Amino acid sequence: MVPKTPAYHASAVSMKWFESYLSKRSQICSVAGSLSAPLTPSCGISQGSILGPVLFSLYMNDLPLNIPEANVDVYADDTTLWKSNGDCIKIQNDFQSSLECANVWFKQNHMKPNITNTKHLLIGTHQKLRHANISSLELNLNGVLIEEVKDEKLLGVKLDKYLSWNDQVNCLMKKLNSQFFLLKRAKGYLSISGRKMLYNALIKSTLEYCCTVWGNCSNEQLLRLLGLQKRCARLILDANPSDNSVALFNTLKWIPIDDTIRVHKLCMMYKIINKMCPQYFDNYCCSSLE
Residues 262, 183 share a domain: yes
For residues 144 and 170, state if they share a domain: no
Residues 32 and 93 occupy one common structural domain: no
Last residue within a domain, chosen from 18, 38, 61: 61
Whether 193 is in a domain gets the answer yes
Domain assignment present for residue 158? The answer is yes
186 lies in some domain? yes
- Which of 53, 64, 124, 58 lies closest to 91, judged by CA? 124
157 and 195 housed in the same domain = no
Name 72's Cβ contacts closer than 8 Å, sequence gap at least 6.
63, 64, 79, 80, 81
Does 137 lie in the same domain as 48? Answer: no
Residues 93 and 154 in one domain: yes
Strand partners, 196: none
Q: Which residues pair with 168 in a beta bridge?
A: none
CA-closest candidate to residue 63, choices 32, 34, 98: 98
Q: What are the pLDDT tens digits along the chain (290 aa)?
A: 888 888 888 888 988 988 888 888 888 889 998 999 998 887 777 777 888 888 888 889 999 999 999 999 998 888 999 999 999 999 999 999 999 999 999 999 988 899 999 999 999 999 999 998 888 899 999 889 999 999 999 999 999 999 999 999 999 999 999 999 999 999 999 999 999 999 999 999 999 999 999 999 999 999 999 999 999 999 999 999 999 999 999 999 999 999 999 999 999 999 998 989 888 888 777 666 55
The residue segments making up the domain with residue 210 are 166-274
| 8 A C-beta contact, residue 161 and residue 122 | yes
Please report whether residue 155 resides in a domain: yes
Cβ-proximal residues to 247 (8 Å cutoff; 6+ apart), any chain: none
Are 125 and 194 within one domain?
no
Pair 112, 41 in one domain: no
Residue 289 lies in a domain: no
For residues 21 and 46, state if they share a domain. yes
| CA 79 vs CA 55, 241, 269: distances in Å | 16, 46, 26
Quick count: other Cβ atoms within 10 Å of Cβ 120?
A: 19
Structural contact between residues 222 and 258, judged by C-beta atoms closer than 8 angstroms: yes
- Which residue stretches of 135-256 are H helix? 166-186, 192-199, 205-208, 211-214, 219-237, 245-252
| pLDDT value for 289 | 54
* Residues 47 and 70 reside in one and the same domain: no
Record the pTM: 0.84
Q: Is 158 helix (H, G, I), strand (E, B) or coil?
A: strand
Domain boundary among 99, 128, 163: 163
CA–CA separation, 102 and 81 (whole Å) = 10
User: C-alpha angle 246/252/253, rounded to 5°?
Assistant: 80
Q: Examine residue 284 and state whether it is found in any structural domain, yes or no.
A: no
- Kind and range of the H or E run holding 129: helix 126-130
Is the same domain home to 67 and 51? no
Q: Are 158 and 121 in contact (CB under 8 A)?
A: no
Q: Are 200 and 122 within one domain?
A: no
Distance set, CA 280 to CA 80, 165, 275, 276 (Å): 16, 24, 10, 11
CA distance 78 to 46: 21
- The answer to the question of residue 181 being in a domain is yes
Residue at a domain's end among 148, 163, 178: 163
With beta carbons less than 8 A apart as the criterion, state whether 181 and 155 touch: no
Tally of domains within the chain: 3
Residue among 230, 262, 264 nearest 249 (CA): 230
